[in-house]
């Protein structure tokens, strides 16, 4: 089976992991944690990075540090992974969904402004599938309405908006290092920010709310959301490869684009002129003209040894978040979209095979 993704781990990761293991620093203290944080901060071009146990924890910490609480509303895209909405609920606040932009699938800034009420406190733009949001517009709206911005960069390490790294625009940028992400630590997350006070708050909150200068004294209710030295050991080795991983993802996207552009009924993902996508997952849309539906294509590929994933489902359709409002673009993208094998270790031969199988399935 050609896998849809997966980690690319080598000797460097293994070497670091063994070093951490042998040193006995296997919990959240240990030299790799700080090293990993510094590497991510430098990569994103921001001053501070605070690691977390996973991407969901990072988002939760960011919202908590910004003071999001009961009665508040936070604008999120309908088309995202469930964590983007759940972290708002964890704070006792309410996620307000907005539809996707049809060309690049992230939240449509035109619709963000319409969704603002007196209760709105923050926006969480999600750089979906590695394509950045229109950050100039989103930051303008945030400034005009005095809203906080937490960028959900779980799928977007290495993505750029007008030359600048995703994660460096908002009050906080949050990353996930789950095993299917471009850079992985198995499970893991990170908050990046240029605001020293916010970074300090996040550090306290992730460590049970323990006062930095006073052991076993807690001024706030915190969490245990810490990354282990073992995870960070893998992360340090992965960050040294981040540029080459993103380069490879873009090469894969280019190769798919060239080979699939002639297939009738397959719409390729667009890259906006201001964007440099990191193409976390190369995802295409299956149109009526293709001949078979998206689900039939996925079954056919699976039978032929190609693993795929459907696009995410709109969060507003799920029981905890069901609303009467409709988000037609997100719903349509979700029904039509399929992610093709996009791991950095995908060989040219396998990529060619995937394209042939896709083309044949539509005949
Ligand atoms: C957009 C988005 N946000 C948040 C997360 C949550 O990250 P984690 O799985 O590390 O908790 C994910 C994926 O896993 C995601 O795709």
DSSP track, 201-232: HHHHHHBTTB-TTSTT-BSS---B-PPPHHHH
Count of C-beta atoms within a 10 Å radius of residue 291: 14
Q: Which atom of ligand 1 is nearest to the CA of 188?
A: 10
Fold (topology level) of 11-98+105-239: 3.40.640
Residue 83 Cβ contacting ligand 1 at under 6 Å: yes
Measured CA to CA, the distance from residue 195 to residue 354 in angstroms comes to 45
pLDDT of residue 228: 98
DSSP state string for 223-261 = -B-PPPHHHHHHHHHHHTTHHHHHHHHHHHHHHHHHHHT
Does an H or E element contain 303, and which?
helix 294-303
- Stretches where the chain sits below pLDDT 70 are none
Residue 81 Cβ contacting ligand 1 at under 6 Å: yes
Residue in 51, 132, 155 to alter for ligand 1 test, most ligand atoms within 8 A of Cβ: 155
* Residue ranges of the chain that CATH labels 3.90.1150.10: 242-361
Cα 22 to averaged position of ligand 1 atoms, centre (Å): 31
Q: What CATH architecture does domain 242-361 belong to?
A: Alpha-Beta Complex (3.90)
pLDDT of residue 297: 98
Distances 67 to 35, 196, 288 between C-alpha atoms, Å: 28, 16, 46
Measured CA to CA, the distance from residue 74 to residue 71 in angstroms comes to 10
Residue 152 Cβ contacting ligand 1 at under 6 Å: yes
Cα 83 to averaged position of ligand 1 atoms, centre (Å): 6
Cα 60 to averaged position of ligand 1 atoms, centre (Å): 11
* Tokens at 122, concatenated: 């923050």
User: For residues 199 and 48, is the Cβ–Cβ distance under 8 A?
Assistant: yes
pLDDT of residue 346: 98
* Tokens at 213, concatenated: 């200068």
Put residue 129 in one of left, alpha, beta given phi > 0 → left and psi -120 to 50 → alpha.
Answer: left
Residue 308 Cβ contacting ligand 1 at under 6 Å: no
* Residue ranges of the chain that CATH labels 3.40.640.10: 11-98+105-239
Residue 189 Cβ contacting ligand 1 at under 6 Å: yes
| Residues 16-54: b if buried by 16+ CB within 10 A, e if exposed | bbebbeeeebeebebebbebbbebbbebbebebbbbbbb
Residue in 58, 80, 81 to alter for ligand 1 test, most ligand atoms within 8 A of Cβ: 81
Give which of 273, 297, 272, 275 is closest to 287, Cα–Cα. 297
Residue 80 Cβ contacting ligand 1 at under 6 Å: yes
Residue 155 Cβ contacting ligand 1 at under 6 Å: yes
**Per-residue pLDDT tens for 255-296?**
999 999 999 999 999 999 999 999 999 999 999 999 999 999
Residue 84 Cβ contacting ligand 1 at under 6 Å: yes
Q: Are strands 164-165 and 282-286 parallel, antiparallel or unpaired?
A: unpaired
pLDDT of residue 362: 83
Measured CA to CA, the distance from residue 308 to residue 328 in angstroms comes to 24
Measured distance between the N- and C-terminal CA atoms of the chain, rounded to whole angstroms? 22
pTM reported for the whole predicted model: 0.98
């Amino acid at each position: 089976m050609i896998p849809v993704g997966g980690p690319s781990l080598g000797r460097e990761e293994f070497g670091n992991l063994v070093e951490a293991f042998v040193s006995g620093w296997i919990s959240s203290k240990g030299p790799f944690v700080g090293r990993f944080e510094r590497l991510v901060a430098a990569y994103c071009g921001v001053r501070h990075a605070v690691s977390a146990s996973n991407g969901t924890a990072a988002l939760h910490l960011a919202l908590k540090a910004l003071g999001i609480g009961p009665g508040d509303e936070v604008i999120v895209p309908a088309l995202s992974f469930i964590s983007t909405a759940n972290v708002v609920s964890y704070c006792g606040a309410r996620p307000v969904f907005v539809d996707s932009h049809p060309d690049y699938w992230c939240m449509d800034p035109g619709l963000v402004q319409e969704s603002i009420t007196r209760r709105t406190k923050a926006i969480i733009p999600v750089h979906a599938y590695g394509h950045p949001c229109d950050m100039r517009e989103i930051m303008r709206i945030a400034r005009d309405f005095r809203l906080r911005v937490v960028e959900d960069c779980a799928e977007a390490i290495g993505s750029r908006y007008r030359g600048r790294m995703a994660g460096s625009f908002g009050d906080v940028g949050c990353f996930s290092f789950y095993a299917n992400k471009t850079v992985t630590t198995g499970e893991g997350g990170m908050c990046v920010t240029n605001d020293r006070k916010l970074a300090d708050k996040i550090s306290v909150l992730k460590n049970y709310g323990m006062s930095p200068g006073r052991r076993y004294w807690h001024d706030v209710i915190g969490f245990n959301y810490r990354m282990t030295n073992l995870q960070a050991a893998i992360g340090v080795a992965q960050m040294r490869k981040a540029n080459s991983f993103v380069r490879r993802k873009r090469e894969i996207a280019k190769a798919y684009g060239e080979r699939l552009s002639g297939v009738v009924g397959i719409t390729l993902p667009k890259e906006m002129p201001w964007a440099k996508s990191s193409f976390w997952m190369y995802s295409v849309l299956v149109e009526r003209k293709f001949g078979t539906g998206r689900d039939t294509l996925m079954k056919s590929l699976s039978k032929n040894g190609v693993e795929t994933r459907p696009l995410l489902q709109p969060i507003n359709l799920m029981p905890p978040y069901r609303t009467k409002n409709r988000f037609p673009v997100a719903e349509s993208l979700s029904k039509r979209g399929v992610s093709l094998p996009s791991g950095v270790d995908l060989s040219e031969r396998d990529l060619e095979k995937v394209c042939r199988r896709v083309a044949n399935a539509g005949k």
